[in-house]
Amino acid sequence: MTSIQEHKQKHKIETPNEKQNRHKAMEAIKVLNTLKEGFKEPPKAMSYFYDLFEEVYCHQKALHTDKVKVGTMCIQIPSEIIYALDGVPIRLCNGFYTDDEIGSDLLPQKACPLVKASVGHLSSKNLTDKPDMIYSPTTCDQKTKAGTLISSFGYDVVDVDFPRTKESEISREFFRRSIRDFSVDLSHKMGRKLTKKNLRASISKIGYAQSLYHRLSEFRKSKIVPILGNDMFIVTNAFFFDKLDNWIEATEKLVQELEQRVKENLHVAGKVSPRIVYTGSPPIFPNYKIPLIIEDSDAIIVADETCSSNRMFNDRVAVDEWFVNDMIDSLADKYLKACTCPVFSKNDDRIRRIIELVRSHNADGVIYQAFAGCTVYELEQRSVLEAMEKEGISILYIESDYSPSQHGQLSTRVEAFVESLKIKNRNRK
């Protein structure tokens, strides 16, 4: 008995922030351990990324103490402009169940877990790289409203108007104006000017990062797949907050190692593991629930169509004239026209992209996840399913959230889908 009383005196009760940090560390380490231990040997170059996530989420290491941090609420804020003005973009989209639970007290029960987690995280004010300002593109309803809620916590939040159609000339002009305004606002706040030189340099640097992503993607097209889809998500997720130069260096090393792996015929999955294209609501660390179930069910994710990965890197900026105003307009076009987010009224581009990925990566099927509450992905599910059916592509639609509890039921569904793909492949031969 006395030992409990002694312990109780020795050990203080955690503060809410300490508790939140511990919960997040527990979530993070679980996923990192699974990646390190649950599959065939990961590439050595992955340890940079594993360590990065562990330092940031288990030991609360701040990465950008000397820089102005520009928070972004969605993918549509051009990081090229932020880097050109010597700021650091921090994407605030959040994947922690811990923060989702905090956000649940502030948003409707049925709201999207990603939005709840992002709001919950910001409401706690417990951030290692706290953004100095936040730009919030008015994309889906929930993100739009979240921006206003977040500003009530005392953050400097600026809405960036975003159109809900992308075919028309009006929407193109609309978003160009919006990005021009954003550039002016950020220039003022940073006390710097966008110049031909700094903007061109950052466009080409991001372009180089994109080219590295494309090289990684190339590897996944061949029969020998040298990297797990989950590891790819880790790499692209690190782009949300890492120091750009470090990210580039680590990814270059990864590219080299994968080249070697392909030469050595090192395939990270099984011989008959079906190849999957993943699409839908974005897996954001540590919510790799569905991707981990997929690769744990003897399938391999060879490509994805999500805003936390492929959509960030797929399309390059097409600049006609290298003048500041032209570059800004080109950036606006890239972030609008190339975007395949289901917020748009018509979104045939997304269906085309998925089919293209299935064909180019020789995929056997598609798994489409929508977060319960992520209305736009839920709404678009029907048209995507119909389109895939027309193309003869097998697809599984799953609705899930951030809670770790339904693992058993979900993995049974995924396993059954993977098995059906295996049988189809066998019958084809």
Partner 1 sequence: MKYFAGIDIGSTAIKITIIDENKEMVGHRISGSGSMFYKYAQQTLGDLLKDLNISDEDVCYRVATGYGRKLFKEADENISEITANAIGAVAAAKEFGAIKTIINIGGQDSKAISLDDQGNVVNFAMNDRCAAGTGKFLDACAMNLEIGVEELGERHFNATGTPLSINSTCAVFAESEIIGLLGNSHSVEDIVSGVHYSIAKRIVKLVKRVGVKEGIYFDGGPALNGGLVNAIENEIGQKIFIPKHPQVTTSFGAAILGVDSYNYQNSGL
Residue by residue, DSSP assigns 178-215 as HHHHHHHHHHHHHT----HHHHHHHHHHHHHHHHHHHH
Does 22 interact with partner 1 (rule: CB under 8 A)?
Answer: yes
Q: Which is nearer to partner 1, 30 or 390 (CB)?
A: 30
Among 243, 407, 413, 422, binds partner 1 (CB under 8 A): 407
Does 408 interact with partner 1 (rule: CB under 8 A)?
Answer: yes
What does the chain come to in residues?
429
Contact 282, 306 (CB under 8 A): yes
Does 13 interact with partner 1 (rule: CB under 8 A)?
Answer: yes
Does 16 interact with partner 1 (rule: CB under 8 A)?
Answer: yes
Does 109 interact with partner 1 (rule: CB under 8 A)?
Answer: no
Does 404 interact with partner 1 (rule: CB under 8 A)?
Answer: yes
What is the amino acid identity at position 194?
L
The torsion angles phi and psi of 123, rounded to 5 degrees, stand at: -70, -30
Contact 411, 296 (CB under 8 A): yes
Q: Which is nearer to partner 1, 117 or 179 (CB)?
A: 117
> Positive or negative CA dihedral for 353, 213, 418, 226?
positive
Among 26, 272, 379, 416, binds partner 1 (CB under 8 A): 26
Q: Helix and strand tally (H, E) in the chain? A: 17, 8
Minimum distance, C-beta of residue 83 to partner 1, in the bound complex (Å): 33
Residue among 126, 116, 172, 176 at smallest CA distance from 149: 116
Minimum distance, C-beta of residue 21 to partner 1, in the bound complex (Å): 10
Does 19 interact with partner 1 (rule: CB under 8 A)?
Answer: yes
Ranges of beta strands (E only) in 197-299 are 275-280
Q: Which is nearer to partner 1, 36 or 164 (CB)?
A: 36
How would you classify the pairing of strands 133-137 and 87-91?
unpaired
Residue among 253, 280, 268 at smallest CA distance from 222: 268
Q: Which is nearer to partner 1, 50 or 344 (CB)?
A: 50
Binding mask 28-47 for partner 1 (x = CB under 8 A): xxx--x---x----------
Minimum distance, C-beta of residue 58 to partner 1, in the bound complex (Å): 5
Residues 58-87 that bind partner 1 (CB under 8 A): 58
Stretch that binds partner 1, among 21-29, 199-207, 233-241, 315-323 (CB under 8 A): 21-29
Minimum distance, C-beta of residue 297 to partner 1, in the bound complex (Å): 16
Nearest 10 degrees: CA dihedral of 111, 115, 117, 123? Answer: -100
Number of residues that bind partner 1 (CB under 8 A): 25
Among 283, 325, 405, 425, binds partner 1 (CB under 8 A): 405
Does 9 interact with partner 1 (rule: CB under 8 A)?
Answer: no
Cis bond before residue 291 (omega within 30° of 0): no
Stretch that binds partner 1, among 9-17, 225-233, 310-318, 410-418 (CB under 8 A): 9-17
